[in-house]
Amino acid sequence: MDIVAIQAELNALEADCLRELEAATDAAQLDAVERKYLGKQGSIKAMLSRLGQLPKEQRAELGKLLNQSSARAEAAAAAARDRVKKGALAAALEDKGFDVTLPGRLPAGVLRPGSLHPLTRVRRELEDLFTSMGYAVLDGPEVELEHYNFDDLNTPPDHPARESQDTFWTTTPGICLRSHTSPVQVRGMRWWRKQGFELPMRAIAPGRVFRNETVDASHEHTFHQLEGIVVGEGISIAHLLHSMKTLLRGVFGRELTVRLRPGFFPFVEPGFELDAQCLHCGGKGCAFCKHSGWVELLPCGLVHPHVIAAGGFDPGKHTGFAFGLGLSRLVCLRHGIDDVRHLLSGDVRVLGSFV
């Protein structure tokens, strides 16, 4: 075996090795090529054993050629590895199913993180707002005595709201599902007095209410209100207006122009509907405000003297204001929800949509 023949063999091996490295498309193929040519048993390395067959003076020369050859092949292998790695990454990025904006998949058995219902969030925001103004947050029963729901609220015995088409009655006479949060007005006043708290009494009462409604996109049999009541000496419409403007600033994050229109509720005198200049067109008139420039926001008024008396205060000395905010309506207004039925649908997608 002469050196020229060995050299030719070596060149051929190196060329094969480089070609195969070039052709490799994944790490496994690369491993195989490296093993075949460059591993301890690889064919390039194997040529070292052939050195012994050569005359001494040629051994050094071939040794050098062998080293150069394996160095080139190793460099080519490193480059090929790099290429394969980048290729795999690019392929992963180009995969049409890969969207970096998607939330990660939770491993099986891990619970989905929860989120608050939009109604809960609005209620909590309002509780924070009112407690910051010194209001107490009260609670009342959902199954209520007719007495608190109607009589104490100055509602005449023949008032249509008492009819079963409007109110859900239980099989026990005199007990209904509360049709509004207003029964907490009288319950609250009595409790306030019993506690001996100072006046003015300031309280809100958020909660669920029930009406025997035909359910459609804007009516539910179950919905949420937030009652507010302030009673003390010299409480006037000016206090009412100021509080309502503060409330609306907190809810909508800006100053709204409001107006009071007369409205009738047996437990307030005078009673009002508070309107705000349309949130969408600013009063110019649009489809949302039915081109009137105003949207109805909440009913309110000065607490009727009969109700003040039912609460245990002195109607000759004490006056107050009350309001009934429709929380369900507010949530729909704020999030542009066009159907109140979504709110209590129990569909978790509703929960996750308004975070």
Residue-wise over 311-328: b if at least 16 C-beta within 10 A, else e? Answer: bebebeebbbbbbbbbbb
Query: Which residue number, 61 or 166, has a Cβ lying nearer to ligand PHE?
Result: 166
Report the nearest approach of ligand PHE to the CB of residue 173 (Å).
Answer: 23
Site map (CB under 6 A) of ligand PHE, residues 308-337, x = contact: --------------xxx-------------
Residue 206 CA to residue 226 CA, distance in Å, equals 4
Residue 198 CA to residue 122 CA, distance in Å, equals 29
Pairing of strands 136-137, 201-210: parallel
Site map (CB under 6 A) of ligand PHE, residues 292-311, x = contact: -------xxx----------
Three-state DSSP state, 26: coil
| Residue with token string 């591993």 | 39
Q: Name the residue with the smallest CB distance to ligand PHE.
A: 324
Establish if 154 lies at the interface with ligand PHE (CB under 6 A): no
| Residues forming a β-bridge with 296 | 275
CB 331 within 8 A of CB 119: yes
Site map (CB under 6 A) of ligand PHE, residues 249-288, x = contact: ----------------x--x--x-----------------
User: End-to-end distance of the chain based on CA atoms, in angstroms?
Assistant: 81
Report the nearest approach of ligand PHE to the CB of residue 273 (Å).
Answer: 9
Report the nearest approach of ligand PHE to the CB of residue 109 (Å).
Answer: 46
Residue 139 CA to residue 181 CA, distance in Å, equals 9
Report the nearest approach of ligand PHE to the CB of residue 186 (Å).
Answer: 12
Establish if 135 lies at the interface with ligand PHE (CB under 6 A): no
Establish if 223 lies at the interface with ligand PHE (CB under 6 A): no
Contacting ligand PHE (CB under 6 A), which of 162, 178, 180, 342? 180
Establish if 182 lies at the interface with ligand PHE (CB under 6 A): yes
Query: Which residue number, 272 or 294, has a Cβ lying nearer to ligand PHE?
Result: 272
Residue 184 CA to residue 278 CA, distance in Å, equals 31
CB 298 within 8 A of CB 274: yes
Task: Give the interface with ligand PHE as residue ranges (CB under 6 A).
Answer: 180, 182, 265, 268, 271, 299-301, 322-324
